[in-house]
Amino acid sequence: MIELTTSPQAEKVFLAGLITQDLSRFEAELSLDELGNLAHAAGATVVGSELQKRPAPHPAFFFGSGKAREIGALARGAGAGTLILDQDLTPAQERNLERTTRLKVLDRSELILDIFASRARTREARLQVELAQYQYLLPRLAGMWGHLSRTGGGIGTRGPGETQLETDRRLVRTRLSSLKKRLRTVERHRRLVRSRRSSTYRVALGGYTNVGKSTLMNSLARTRLPVADQPFVTLDSTTRKLYLGEGLSVLITDTIGFVQRLPHHLVASFHSTLEEVREADLLLVVADASSPQIEKDLVVVDETLESIGAGEIEKIVVLNKMDLVGDHRSLQAMAARYEPGCLSVSALRRIGLSDLRIMMRSRIHTTGHLLGYANSLQGNGTGTEA
């Protein structure tokens, strides 16, 4: 287990969001709770929050301008130096809000990008996060320089600012194309490794973040992947051979989790990591059975899988953390909703794992021959590294 703690000088942040026609108060509150968890994962302390009811975001200020001033005063009064918005902002909204509230303003995408940047460990994950960050930055450069020339004001700021903007745009574009080139090399390597494994049946763990995917991988395949009660602990993919009994072995991959409104830049730049999911023959869609949000989370997972081209892959829904659910009837009712191909387990307490292996075997027997996986159906590996 890795330690992910908040530093004593944690940045104090205030959270804010909208209740709109598409988002009820209850949903907006749950979403704000999740934003709080994300802020905590980024090392911040949440000192307060506020929601405003509006049919749609104000095009210039996001909130009404009076409400924006009020939120600024509330946040500064609570000691916050940063305001984090639950929805995404246009570059103009972000700039106007910074001026009105006199706070540093971040939106949900920036916060998620920040967590990814601090957690990325492998070369591939770092390249992918950097690519997403620069893509996010590019349309905002103009505002940054406009902002500087306004605040700096006076002689000598505007001209150099604009020249600098062109220079910066060029630098960012050059960096973007170099990152894309380096990622293509990593992707080629990954494809090569995958093509060597192409005769073996592939299973991928997918699901919302923090539901226990890596814990399940560790329990099934005897890996020692980092696990923590934090979102986005896993940002890479790890593949191992897994023996399922009765002469069947498969490759199993643990990878990145999803969250609602995952920034599209991130989904696009994590293309090669997510390819491990897209190319799987079977997905174990892991869900947290103890979460009050389970149904909504599963909808987000389905939508994300669809958006990355993995919507049609065979699935088993794994209701994890069953040890935290006291009411077994509600668990059975939940499992019945996702039948056929759903079962309850506890990855941590190793409950239900044999049933999961049996269910996987039966799926592979139904589809593996059709897919021509001779190795899977004859292998006898023992969970060693692939």
Which positions lie near ligand GTP, rule CB under 6 A? 209-215, 227-229, 231-234, 257, 320-321, 323-324, 346-348
Smallest gap from Cβ 234 to ligand GTP, in A, equals 3
**Contacting range for Mg ion; rule: CB under 5 A; set: 114-122, 164-172, 206-214, 308-316:** 206-214
**Residue number with CB closer to Mg ion (67 or 213):** 213
Smallest gap from Cβ 232 to ligand GTP, in A, equals 5
Residue among 120, 50, 130 nearest 84 (CA): 50
End-to-end Cα distance, the chain: 23
Alpha-carbon dihedral 209, 215, 217, 222, rounded to 10 degrees: 160
- How many angstroms separate the Cα of 13 from the Cα of each of 57, 263, 313? 21, 21, 40
Distance CA(84)–CA(40), nearest Å, equals 12
DSSP secondary structure string, 28-50?
HHHHHHHHHHHHHHTTEEEEEEE
Distance CA(112)–CA(118), nearest Å, equals 10
The pairing of strands 82-85 and 104-107 is parallel
Asked if 214 interacts with Mg ion (CB under 5 A), we say yes
Smallest gap from Cβ 153 to Mg ion, in A, equals 48
**Residue number with CB closer to ligand GTP (100 or 209):** 209
Locus of tokens 């940045």 = 11
Find which of ligand GTP, Mg ion, none residue 19 binds, CB within 5 to 8 Å per kind. none
Find which of ligand GTP, Mg ion, none residue 228 binds, CB within 5 to 8 Å per kind. ligand GTP
**Residue number with CB closer to ligand GTP (324 or 374):** 324
Smallest gap from Cβ 101 to ligand GTP, in A, equals 31
The Cβ of residue 211 has, within 10 Å, a number of other Cβ atoms equal to 29
**Residue number with CB closer to ligand GTP (103 or 285):** 285
DSSP state of 10: P
**Contacting range for Mg ion; rule: CB under 5 A; set: 147-155, 205-213, 240-248, 373-381:** 205-213
Interacting positions 221-280 with Mg ion (CB under 5 A): 233-234
Find which of Mg ion, ligand GTP, none residue 324 binds, CB within 5 to 8 Å per kind. ligand GTP
* Residue 340, preceding peptide bond in cis (omega within 30° of 0): yes
Smallest gap from Cβ 307 to ligand GTP, in A, equals 17
* Positions that interact with Mg ion (CB under 5 A): 213-214, 233-234
